[in-house]
Structure 1
Amino acid sequence: MAAKDSSVSPASHVAIIMDGNGRWAKSRGKPRLYGHKMGARRVREVVEACPDHGVRYLTLYAFSTENWKRAPAEVAGLMALFRQFIRAEMADLVRDGVRVRFIGDRRPLNSKLRRLMGELEQATARNDTLHLTVALNYGARDELARAAARMAADVAAGEICADTVDADSLRPYLDTADLPDPDLVIRTSGETRISNFLLWQAAYSEFEFTPVYWPDFGRSELGSILENFGTRERRFGAVLT
């Protein structure tokens, strides 16, 4: 067995599946939307903690393409919460040097929300302290289908040759084309699946499944997980000697 590398660098890119808001609220006799509101508060704490741990990229799974199946009232409440969060946090995100991007299919989203998303991206475009990516109406299979369709259109237009298509060729068509792959994917709430999140990008990511519900997840939980990450060997298919 290879010895541990004492010079292991911290996780540069952390991706989080923020799960457990509804169950957290239910355990307290509260409606699910209350759990989502409390979970939104944790986003600020985690965003502030990341630079202290050497994390330069943070990707958060906020709303999946499958989440439309939830009760209409919950979906409407979530969309309102997203709008409120952007309005409330924009000035602080600009001040703190956080660059915000959104990935996913924006077309089904409310026009007011789309406008606010664009305003936040533009307002933070020059920031570089932390790159925050929010996956909103995102699903990895949907992302790959959209990427393949765009690539097929370029093949049909003669801009690329089908015979030269490989894994590297597809990357520029992904929603995350300008981002490094995540070093670490965290899921809260005790579930041990990735639920259609960054399937392509997480091919060689490390995973951490914590029983802590997202509204209880904060700076200390993130720090403990990152400390554990620093002890892992990442082989990327190779054999370390």
Structure 2
Amino acid sequence: MSDSVSSSSKVESKSSYDRRIQEELKKSGEIPKHIAIIMDGNGRWAKKRGLPRVAGHREGVKSVRDVVEACAQLGVKYLTLFAFSTENWKRPKHEIDTLMKLLIKTLRTETDKLHKNDIKLMAIGDIESLPVEVQRELKEAIEKTKNNKRMVLNLALSYSGRWEIIEAVKGIARDVKSGKIKVEEINDSLFASYLKTAGIPEPDLLIRTSGEFRISNFLLWQIAYTELYICDCLWPDFRRKHLYEAIRDYQKRERRFGMTSEQIKKKSFNGNA
């Protein structure tokens, strides 16, 4: 009985500590509206432990679950996860097949939890290139959560930034040819409306795990002014405490968008006046 009470107290203490950290973050600065994450290091995590690569991917699902929950609690409105790139199709067939099975299983087990927590699921990428069963599970999950408002969880699947930009160019070319738009009307905002992320604000913060200093063809248009945070932690080891560290670092930065510090301060002053 005493062991049970002691265990319960520890859980409550941990939960209370986490809530305190979240409240501190909310008070200390701006919480990013949109966070994007390149989830890297699953294979290396498994290799370090003498395990098959898929073991890293399975463990990585736990990281996704924890980060999604923490972001929703913090008030993050959009979370985009780079789950499977166009380049990942070059991997061994066995690994790809296992990854697709894991994706199906995860969608089946996590969709109800997302729905219960008022989280909307979306996906960007060449979805038609995914196995039919994956497409079906994804479509059902998206349909079930489509009216949820708390946060958008956006999965980048069979995705590449260059592919997305080319698709946007094709769409604009078709509409120019048909007379729907004029060449003179093409600008940043119109181009963005042809991207797969249309309607989603550009990321405020991009996190990459595993210590690699690369963008890896992810959201190339959208991250023009995004703050980058490189974490040495491999994705399967990444948990909410690492997310909090990234947000703390983000809050210390001054986002100038091409302006000077003085202009930013003046704009902020006028906005608060």
TM-score when scaled to structure 1? 0.96
Counterparts of 1:128 and 1:54, CA distance in 2:
11
* Residue 143 (structure 2) aligns with: 122
> 1:131-150 maps to which residues of 2 (within 5 A)?
131-150=152-171
> 1:1-241 maps to which residues of 2 (within 5 A)?
8-241=29-262
SS at match of 1:238: coil
Counterparts of 2:166 and 2:82, CA distance in 1:
19
Aligned 8 A contact 1:19 1:214 in 2: yes
SS at match of 2:211: coil
Taking only aligned residues, the RMSD between alpha carbons, in angstroms, comes to: 1.1
SS at match of 2:65: helix
Aligned 8 A contact 1:22 1:35 in 2: yes
The alpha-carbon deviation at position 8 of structure 1 amounts to 4.1
Counterparts of 1:203 and 1:141, CA distance in 2:
14
Aligned 8 A contact 1:53 1:223 in 2: no
SS at match of 1:101: strand
Letter matched to residue 88 of structure 1? T
Q: Which structure dedicates a bigger proportion of its chain to helix?
A: 2
Cα deviation, 1:68-124, whole Å, max 9, x if unaligned, reads 011110011111111110001111110011101000011211111111111111110
Aligned 8 A contact 1:46 1:219 in 2: yes
Aligned 8 A contact 1:56 1:131 in 2: yes
Cα deviation, 1:116-165, whole Å, max 9, x if unaligned, reads 11111111011111110000000000000011101111111100001221
Letter matched to residue 30 of structure 1? L
The alpha-carbon deviation at position 231 of structure 1 amounts to 1.1
Structure 1: runs of 5+ lacking an equivalent: 1-5
Letter matched to residue 229 of structure 1? Y
* Residue 268 (structure 2) aligns with: none
Aligned 8 A contact 1:42 1:218 in 2: yes
Aligned length: 236
Any runs of at least 4 consecutive aligned residues in structure 1 with deviations exceeding 6 A, and if so which?
A: none
Counterparts of 2:45 and 2:97, CA distance in 1:
20
Larger RCO, structures 1/2 (Cα 8 Å, 6+ apart): 1
Counterparts of 1:120 and 1:128, CA distance in 2:
15
Structure 2: runs of 5+ lacking an equivalent: 1-26, 263-273
Cα deviation, 1:163-196, whole Å, max 9, x if unaligned, reads 2211211111100001000000000001010100
Aligned 8 A contact 1:97 1:128 in 2: yes
Letter matched to residue 28 of structure 1? R
Cα deviation, 1:1-45, whole Å, max 9, x if unaligned, reads xxxxx9742111100000000000000000001100110121110
SS at match of 1:127: coil
TM-score when scaled to structure 2? 0.85
